[in-house]
Amino acid sequence: MAGIASLAAGAVALGTGSAHATPLAGAPLGAKNDDRPDAEVLVAATAAELTGWKAKKLDDGTVAQLLGHATPGDGAARLVRYDAKSTAAPNGGTVLAPADATTTGRWHTLHTGTADFRWFGLFGPENPADAALDALVDDPSITRIEAHTDLNFTRRHTFTRSNLELDFGGNTVTSEGIERNAHDNPFGAVLFFQGRVTDETQQRTLAATLPDLADVFEVADAGAFAVGQWWALRSDERPGGGGDERELQRLVQVTQVLDATHVRVDYKNGWELPAGRVLTWTRVEPVEQVHVRAMTFHGSGPFDGPANGELPDDREMTGSHPVAFEYAVRCDVSDVHGHRTWWPVIMRRWNTHFVTERCSVANPPTVFYGGAGYLTQQIYCLYGRVSDCTSHNARHLNDLTASAYCLVENCHGDGDDQGGNPFTTHGQYEHDLVFVGNSGLMDIANSGGQWGTAAKRITVKHHTCSWFVAGTKITDLTLEDVHVVARSTFDPQATLTINADGAQVRGCTAGFFAVGQRSSLSRRPTVVEDCAFALPAGSVLHQTPVTNPVHFVRTRITGVDGTILRGAGPVTFTDCELVGGTDDAPADPVDLGSADVTVTGGSWRGAGVRLSGARDQRLVLDGVRAAGTTTAGALVSRGTGAAAVDVTLRGADLRAADGTAHVALRPGDRYAATGSRFTGGRLDLPDGVRVLHARNVETGVDRAGLPTAGDGVLVDANLTV
């Protein structure tokens, strides 16, 4: 054929609206040496007009400017090029076929890597966007996909490619009429990007202990490893533990091959593994650099169903959510907002290096069905950052399971009194996690023995909530500036609990506070410093299993009324203020079960202590000020236990209400007071108590209760006023 010149000769105006109008010659495509045009860009008003041009009249390489899909200026404008030999399947967008084409001859969109759903005639949710999505993602030349209108998807897509950005431009994405999901499948998202698990695998029984923070690991054959490869690394189940209790499950990259049986990876292990444990290595080809951005996603109904997590619940099959990643590296999600989604809005497993930011979940259909109603869940994940996210009436804002070295910051959950806590970890040996500047209910390592209920080196700073539970096997917990505020709709006691295994609690406030112990791995002490608690009456402050030392420093505790310290481990109060009852409404004394309690400095007002006698006990009051009375009629007394107690006062200042004993013991106990001051009240130290009472100042003290002088009794050099 004569080519472009003959086509241009019969050109008609674009305004004719004919789908088969002859193309209008456009701007020159190139120039000869004499600056005269040697080619022209054709112009087509619509896709229908473009495909109406006769294939037999098109030259190979013809370029056309398409002004729109349905109408000029509808946003689908682009350059296309005719490839006479192309056999690519037409997809209605990036590949178009002339109406009279047979097996060859296609228009291909010319682009720089950025594609648009409007190229496929999608200008809203009226027609499903699934085929267009598949065509764009499956085209490796496209690295960025943009949506400029609302869209609807009816299929759950699984992709394996890398280096792609999907930007929905803040538009609404729906999934009306979406296909059913499989049972218990949080990866049945509209967009699921999944790396490939190879058949290269090996096991290694550890010949030596793998220490905490090791980055060199044993392998069976280092010849199978190369620097830069990614491997899924997993330990066997912990002997005697739960069915899913593994300390090590991470997607790691090889950074060095050291010798025949050792490689270094980009991860420092968080848990010591003894010789004899088994490591399994599986090579993975992860998806990399896939980013999903800027959409408001509405889950599919029905939304009504079982109210309390009962099974079965068909909504797990009909519900929808936008994004999931498995075996993924450096895959980020930003500005994605889920409404009434079933599974987590962003689901991750075996992810390393990722960011989730400025995302939210609102009003999921349930907060009681296990695994449903989350903003984001991360399983076996490393080096993640979740920031500037929110949840509203949801189960979890953020769940970190068997994950490490992650940061959660400036995230906030409201509506959390409906059954969900925004911040949680599963207790599957998470370690080195940091939470900063967040708000909402929080628990750590609290999902059950099946997974181990263990975590290590968890740090929470500048957090507010009405319930914070961290009493399982959590080692080296750090809490700073955490405030638990009572709320009548969820926890009017404002609960905060910790595990006495290296916990450091500083500058925190709560109502009910309790120290328990379920592990003992830490080398650092458990310290509660510069805090304030308002205890309900009868609270167990120090639980029975606690054997590790616990130290309270400059801490104010009110509501001290029958407070119980049951654990046998030593307890120290330094410069603390404890407030109980009044003379008119006395409180029950603190019930001490610890074998060793030291109170240095500080003050106890209307709050006394009663040693239980359940075991031999020692109480030291050094420089403390105590005043008032208790229901026991004594500031320091002992219970009915058969063991002996030893009470020492050094430089103490005790001011007892009328009729109240400063100290009341029984035969067999030991008492020593030196350099102390006693005002009012009385001493109740019957015969049989070993007594040293010397160099004290007594003002208005009833001494009738002192024992008769003799062996084991020395009362000397006291000043009585």
- Distance (Å, rounded) from C-alpha 210 to C-alpha 346? 33
Instruction: Decide: residue 72, CB within 10 A, 0-12 exposed, 13-18 middle, 19+ buried.
Output: middle
Would you call the peptide bond into 312 cis, given omega within 30 degrees of 0 as the criterion?
Answer: yes
- Distance (Å, rounded) from C-alpha 7 to C-alpha 62? 11
pTM of the model: 0.93
Count of Cβ atoms closer than 10 Å to residue 302 Cβ: 10
Radius of gyration in angstroms for the set of CA atoms belonging to the chain, rounded to a whole number: 36
Which of 676, 574, 661 minimizes the C-alpha distance to 609?
A: 661
The answer to whether residue 572 scores a pLDDT higher than 60 is yes
The SS3 of residue 244 is: coil
For the stretch 297-347, pLDDT in tens is 999 999 999 988 899 999 999 999 999 999 999 999 999 999 999 999 999
How far, CA to CA in Å, does 83 sit from each of 7, 99, 109, 173, 274?
17, 15, 11, 34, 64
Give the lowest-confidence range in 143-152, 156-165, 414-423: 414-423
pLDDT recorded at residue 30: 41
Mean pLDDT for all residues in the chain: 94
For the stretch 522-563, pLDDT in tens is 999 999 999 999 999 999 999 999 999 999 999 999 999 999
Superfamily of domain 115-195+286-420: Single-stranded right-handed beta-helix, Pectin lyase-like (2.160.20.10)
For the stretch 434-478, pLDDT in tens is 999 999 999 999 989 999 999 999 999 999 999 999 999 999 999
- Distance (Å, rounded) from C-alpha 295 to C-alpha 334? 9
| Helix and strand element counts for the chain (H, E) | 4, 66
The answer to whether the CB of 443 falls within 8 A of the CB of 416 is no
pLDDT recorded at residue 40: 82
Q: Which residue has the higher pLDDT, 185 or 243?
A: 185
- Distance (Å, rounded) from C-alpha 406 to C-alpha 431? 9
Q: Scan for tokens 């108590």, then name that residue.
A: 689
b/e map of 442-452 (b: 16 or more CB within 10 Å)?
A: bbbbbbeeebb
List CB contacts of 664: < 8 A, sequence separation 6 or more.
632, 633, 634, 636, 637, 638, 684, 685, 705
Instruction: Kindly list the domain boundaries of the chain, sorted by start residue.
Output: 1-110, 115-195+286-420, 197-285, 535-721
Amino acid identity, residue 141? S
The answer to whether the CB of 155 falls within 8 A of the CB of 278 is no
The SS3 of residue 554 is: coil
- Output the six-digit token pair for 601: 């400095």
- Distance (Å, rounded) from C-alpha 523 to C-alpha 414? 37
- Distance (Å, rounded) from C-alpha 286 to C-alpha 196? 6
Chain Cα centroid distance, residue 702 = 60
Superfamily of domain 197-285: Translation factors (2.40.30.10)
Residue 102 pLDDT class (50, 70, 90 cuts): confident
The answer to whether the CB of 459 falls within 8 A of the CB of 439 is no
Rounded percentage of the chain residues whose pLDDT exceeds 90: 91
For the stretch 472-531, pLDDT in tens is 999 999 999 999 999 998 899 999 999 999 999 999 999 999 999 999 999 999 999 999
For the stretch 218-268, pLDDT in tens is 999 999 999 999 999 999 999 999 889 999 999 999 999 999 999 999 999
Residue 694 pLDDT class (50, 70, 90 cuts): very high
Q: Which residue has the higher pLDDT, 17 or 38?
A: 38
For the stretch 605-653, pLDDT in tens is 999 999 999 999 999 999 999 999 999 999 999 999 999 999 999 999 9
The 3-state DSSP composition of the chain as helix, strand, coil percent (nearest 5) reads: 5, 45, 50
For the stretch 58-91, pLDDT in tens is 999 999 999 999 999 999 999 999 999 999 999 9
The answer to whether residue 49 scores a pLDDT higher than 70 is yes
pLDDT recorded at residue 39: 62
The answer to whether residue 10 scores a pLDDT higher than 50 is no
Rounded percentage of the chain residues whose pLDDT exceeds 70: 94
The answer to whether residue 399 scores a pLDDT higher than 80 is yes
